[in-house]
Amino acid sequence: MATSLVSFVIAEDPPARLDKALSRDVPAEADLSRSRLAKLIEEGAVKVAGEVVTNPRFKVAGGEEIEITVEAATETDIVAEDIPLTVVYEDDDLIVIDKPAGMVVHPAPGTPNGTVVNALMFHCGESLSGIGGEKRPGIVHRIDKDTTGLLVAAKNDKAHHGLAAQFEKHSVERRYLAVCYGAPDQNDPRIHGIRGTNFEAGNILKIQTFLGRHKTDRQRQAVSFEQGRHAVTRARIIETLGEPASAALIECWLETGRTHQIRVHMSHVGHSLIGDPVYGGKRKLNAKAVGDAGVEAASRFDRQALHAATLGFDHPVTGEWMEFESELPDDMAELVTALGGSL
């Protein structure tokens, strides 16, 4: 198998630990992320002053000569599949796509193929230089199978590490459009009594809880105030639907990105998303408010009405701010119109 040798010297005043010193001083052109370097140390691919070191906590002082043997990225077991993709943007480092409903992002035991990753393997081909030593796209975030919209994936380790760091710091701009039951308005006294909620200026609803696995249903997430992962969602009404308002087109944005976060949080405040098979509950709209056509459109909408509409981030290689927008998909636009919206 082809290998390359990365050689450099640890600069002055390094972090004491080898793994952190390597991360600071490894040449940028080597495209080795912190996680990849940790793996290479563990595999015995790193020499310090001519000696193999496998302990990431090995102490360095500065001036040590480093040699890292990097094997070419190996082929992955993931099968490339010729599945059409809507590509919004692509360069040598990353790709942004507009995902359709019904498509899972990553292969799993229940869905080994037909996923975004299978499609990217085919589409990107040899432009994938490898993530973690394998020729595969780097998935840094996911959207649910039946949620539509924007998704970014990395083509190499450097881009993967740079994007992942931004998602970890919550500096990525992500805004979603959704259609919910009712209208989450600050004039509704019911919402003010729900724990974990408050309104900010501009009638912006802020929901702040912990999220974790449901106690009895492992496929669901549940709100908690004692344990789980911290989650913050904000939402504002774009347009109320019906007279009186029985539904709303809303914009949601994430301070954190947890599994099913918007769906769980909107359900928590009594404004679950139309069509949501897990958190939506069996609700029916008032025909006097939205008409028979509106009731029918909502009852047959067969996925959560949620669309990842805006995605913004710093390009992980050039540093340039990039922002992409995706129009509301046809099925959601038709739903809004049927409910009396002005789209």
Candidate list 31, 93, 98, 144, residue with the active-site label = 144
Q: Are the beta carbons of 265 and 187 closer than 8 angstroms?
A: no
C-alpha of 9 from chain center: 37
The SS3 call for residue 49 is coil
| Enclosing H/E stretch for 163 | helix 157-168
Q: Are the beta carbons of 25 and 65 closer than 8 angstroms?
A: no
Taken in order 262, 263, 266, 268, the sign of the CA dihedral is: negative
Q: Phi first, then psi: what are they for 153, rounded to 5°?
A: -135, 150
Q: Are the beta carbons of 66 and 27 closer than 8 angstroms?
A: no
Determine whether 144 is an active site residue. yes
Q: Phi first, then psi: what are they for 116, rounded to 5°?
A: -60, -40
Structure-block tokens of residue 278: 């897990």
Active site residues: 144
